[in-house]
Structure 1
């Protein structure tokens, strides 16, 4: 079929299509990719099945939120750079606005809520993360070597709980994968129907690295809370491999030890994030609005949201021109296998600390967590319904 770029759309029409998805796409990143396939491959035929699979493969290879990056690339293909922004805004704003409003409500009226309701939100986070660990382990840790890498990664992060330790684990896992894994043979796929020059791609990647390296140094030289906020959330968005759930340990390491956000508020917000549609990365908007120092409220939420998604734009713009050749490299595939196993280890560590240790105190908590897990994995209830149910049961029982 002809390239997508031959069939242009206005940024406004792209925004409206993605806004509809942003209001209705419950279920997490995998579900989002299913909604996108139905909307853009089956219904609108913006691209072929194989082209869509190739685009998903690219976004799963990159750090950051895969579903949001697929949306950015689709918007880019239909309406250029303004289309990329329109697609992101439509898909992201509904959940971001809802979570900022929740943060403001907790800040002003949190005392009026039953303690059990907030605790119920923390307990449901246990079930959500456990489901993510199980699903990712089945997909990414299919043999003893990968399981070993997963367990080593989890042990290192639990014994050295810092954001830089997590980054080091992922780099070491990539090197281990390069040395230990034999890449799988992949069939040829259609070329991605998006044209970006290699010059533009290279400039985007350079800017991505400059911000990643420069913001921490600048934040150290200039003690400014806004700059520190931008640095923390940009760095998190740039280093999260494995999708939205993996953002949990990195964000927790940034905002809780520094006392920007209390651990109780952090986990309550993470649980509530499961009840809204759209990308899990909008949890950043909740945290930015919940800050104990300025900027907070609406300004803090918007700054945190833009900072955590900025790497996604730069990486998509930077990777698209080079992906066709890079994906064919056996060395790239082997390194990625190691990184993916370590990502599951990071999430396993997060399941214990801070999620389990901050939510499961007694038998009632454990029963509620198991009930939520069964509701998600066996009964296949929608996550938003499970979250609301746990909040109500928490208010009644805990």
Structure 2
């Protein structure tokens, strides 16, 4: 009946009859069990043609998991047919499901563990090609699910298992590592990004990819405060720019790299080097956001080199130009407060810190509150100072404060000053900026 329906082009009826045989086989019917090995593959094909991909996938899994169903792949030709069918069920326009990944993993194990009988003209190379095809599909599915580590483990296993295919799998592995590095970088997961990038054989990449990975590593090391490693990459870029003197046509990533190099140099207190990089970056970029970052760093360098007038001039210009609620503007207010505090202009510093407290700046609020409290203490207003410190303590208690090392130190300072004020100890000489 199933064959007749299929011959008449009635796929729906054919599916109904063939699925009935599978159901009877599962219930122990001996005649159905004799037939099921012959019909599962065409049934899966019918499911796929009818748009029932999940049923097609489950049927393929049944074929792969059936220990006595050697008819499913008595030759490489049939193994290839099953491989093509299984891969066709995995849709490429969305994230693969767990079922789809399970199907590809089962297909891979089937090809590796079984030894299909060879028809005339079959060869080991043909079976290897099938394994590579399935591995590509599996790795692609895992990467689309952001399961990069699983993809890496699979490919490393294949490199060890199949020496003749080392080059093909190594190229796949490098591609996965590059994709994973870029994914983690976009997610701002710098630890995973750095660990994955360090595994990449840079010599196997083309020049553009090498640059991309080094830019990512430079940023990751800087974010993790691994300044020695960041400085090594910064020096590599310095040498690269000397060897590729393209002053009239710098690559688009040049200003971004120069900014990060300048920030690394500043963090290492190489102020002259950082200043030269800032000047170079400002000359080479018209991107306004990057120019603001360079100018902010310019102000930091001026403060570090005790050029307070220069720093104040830059900060005032930025204050006048930037939208008050912008992230960059908030950093400028913070630096203005710090400069005033450093120069013992506590009333002016308090005004800058208060601006941050009153704005929508959760990353800055606990830091600004602590500094504002210190200003109130030094201006002889312990009640206001107490209120600011209490707000910080409440933010910590309610888990409202960002979980960073800088904020943690500010919270600890607030708790210490609360204890000091409660004991009526004088502020002068007690405040550790």
Shorter-normalised TM range: under 0.3
- Please identify the structure whose Cα radius of gyration is greater: 2
Select the structure with the greater relative contact order (CA < 8 A; seq sep ≥ 6).
1
TM-score (norm 1): 0.18
